[in-house]
Amino acid sequence: MKLALIGFGQAGGKVVDAFCAFEEMIDRSFIEASIAVNSATADLRGLEHVAQEDRVLIGQSRVKGHGVGADNDLGAQVTEMDLDEIQAAIDRVPVHDLDAFLIVAGLGGGTGSGGAPVLAKHLDRIYTEPVYGLGILPGMDEGGIYTLNAARSFRTFVREVDSLLVFDNDAWRRMGESVGDSYDRTNREIAERFGRLFAAGEVNEDDDVAESVVDSSEIINTLSGGIATVGYATEPLNTSGGGLLSRVTGDSPSTPDETTSTNRMTSLIRKATLGRLTLPCDVSSAERGLVVATGPSESLSRKGIERGRTWLEEETASMEIRGGDYPIPDAGEVGSIVLLSGVTDIDRVEQLQGVAVEAQETTADVQQRSDEQFDSLLDTGGELNALF
């Protein structure tokens, strides 16, 4: 499907950049426009793929291009003030060619965390196209302020978008990796998972368009509310022209038989669902789902997809599990993307909210104590007058 990507804040901009790099790599166009919005000049300068004219600096009169310093209330305020500047960039997008907007932001910071929900509300009022969010949750080790920001932004963002796709940095970090390396890697993971899903609804002119190819409307119907998460699994195809046995025996390389490709596809769908999701959750709480099989047409077993789809229906007790193909001629692997939508049983969100409530209470206590101590410090019992 054709998207207008809007990266809000530093993480949002970098992830949009990663989506553009991914699109170039897969040679299938799903990005109609890419825009980056930030209150920090330096962050906009660091982008590689978003065109200069599509980088929008907001809040200049308030923060002079220096960012909002993890203050998401300020992020929301400067966005509200400068909505016209963002709208001017969106006015250049041929909206009639779009299937949806996707606003990407790290929810733990200030600009994206505060601004993304404000923009979502604005776009939803103006356009009939769906407005989706892609929210990145901070790592648990980032501290109270980031957790509090993320929890408050999450509540607001999910209310303002047609569906909130979520990626949890905490679930995807690796021990011993530097923050920079970790972000580069996770941004590629984000772009690959969500990018493949959105690219699935797009076909090139010369593609073999079978009836079973997934359509944008199926993605849109699956993303019809609440929180969404994505799973992905792949398996390399034996492209070397026969395995060890055929080389030893001299037999000609054989294409996998029907049973092998059926079993492989069913097992990939299970692996994608039960492996690491972008936001880990209890799969049985999903309200809707979409299963997409990727790889060369001849390896996409209809029977395997159908079995996998039925299995997911049983896992989720949902009747709304869609399925389809995303044929990629000459791919060296076969894979499965599973989109689960309307998920509600999510430990990470409960935990995030719990820590955020504590952080909010601690902040209020500290503030009160500090005010009292300051008053007591300056209290001379009325023996000293201020200048004015």
Residues contributing to the site for ligand GDP (CB under 6 A): 9-11, 14, 43, 106, 108-113, 136, 138, 142, 146, 169, 183, 186-187
Smallest distance from the beta carbon of 20 to ligand GDP, in angstroms?
A: 14
Closer by beta carbon to ligand GDP, 197 or else 328? 197
Closer by beta carbon to ligand GDP, 14 or else 49? 14
The reply, when asked if residue 112 is annotated as ligand binding, is yes
Closer by beta carbon to ligand GDP, 43 or else 82? 43
The reply, when asked if residue 372 is annotated as ligand binding, is no
The reply, when asked if residue 221 is annotated as ligand binding, is no
Smallest distance from the beta carbon of 112 to ligand GDP, in angstroms?
A: 3
Closer by beta carbon to ligand GDP, 188 or else 302? 188
Smallest distance from the beta carbon of 329 to ligand GDP, in angstroms?
A: 31
Smallest distance from the beta carbon of 372 to ligand GDP, in angstroms?
A: 31
The reply, when asked if residue 143 is annotated as ligand binding, is no
The reply, when asked if residue 169 is annotated as ligand binding, is yes
Task: Tell the burial category of 26 from Cβ atoms under 10 Å away from its Cβ (0-12, 13-18, 19+).
Answer: middle
The reply, when asked if residue 263 is annotated as ligand binding, is no
Closer by beta carbon to ligand GDP, 187 or else 222? 187
Binding-site positions for GTP read 10-14, 110-112, 142, 169, 187
Binding-site positions read 10-14, 110-112, 142, 169, 187
